[in-house]
Amino acid sequence: MEGQDIKKRLLDFVTQRDWVRYHNPKDLTLAIFIEMAELAEHFLWKSNDSIEEYLGHEQNMNGILEEIADILIYSLNMINAIERISGKSIDVRKIIEDKILKNSKKYPVDECRKKGF
Ligand SMILES: [Mg+2]
């Protein structure tokens, strides 16, 4: 499913429940932060080795993927809210591709490999 399709599906979900009135940039930003904290909780105080072991358990992996989904869902809800407020259409694929292009110019492969990061 393309980003635009998911965005529309989420807008329908939110509209059907009359949640649009709660979906403003400030509250959606806070919601993304809270979901990021829930994701971070999975990794808190764990070494890289113990994270690898943690990810080997299906229940843990599912919990992590669920938090990532929450972050993505709220991010797309944020785009829907910004579209509604600004009256401008936002193409999810385009903003991601534009950012990847910008990052590829900011961090050229050769330069990054030379520096070691
Ligand atoms: Mg969550």
Mean pLDDT (the chain) is 96
Quote the ligand 1 centre to 4 CA distance (angstroms): 22
pTM score above 0.85: yes
Quote the ligand 1 centre to 76 CA distance (angstroms): 15
The full set of domain ranges for the chain reads 3-89
Report pLDDT digits (tens) over 5-55.
999 999 999 999 999 999 999 999 999 999 999 999 999 999 999 999 999
Could you name the CATH architecture of 3-89?
A: Orthogonal Bundle (1.10)
pLDDT higher than threshold 70 for residue 56: yes
Contacts of 28 (CB under 8 A, 6+ apart): 74, 77, 78, 81
Query: Using 50, 70 and 90 to split pLDDT, how confident is the model at 117?
Result: low
Contacts of 35 (CB under 8 A, 6+ apart): 67, 70, 71, 74
Residue 109 sits at the vertex; the CA angle it makes with 107 and 111, to the nearest 5 degrees, is: 70
Contact 61, 55 (CB under 8 A): yes
Quote the ligand 1 centre to 109 CA distance (angstroms): 35
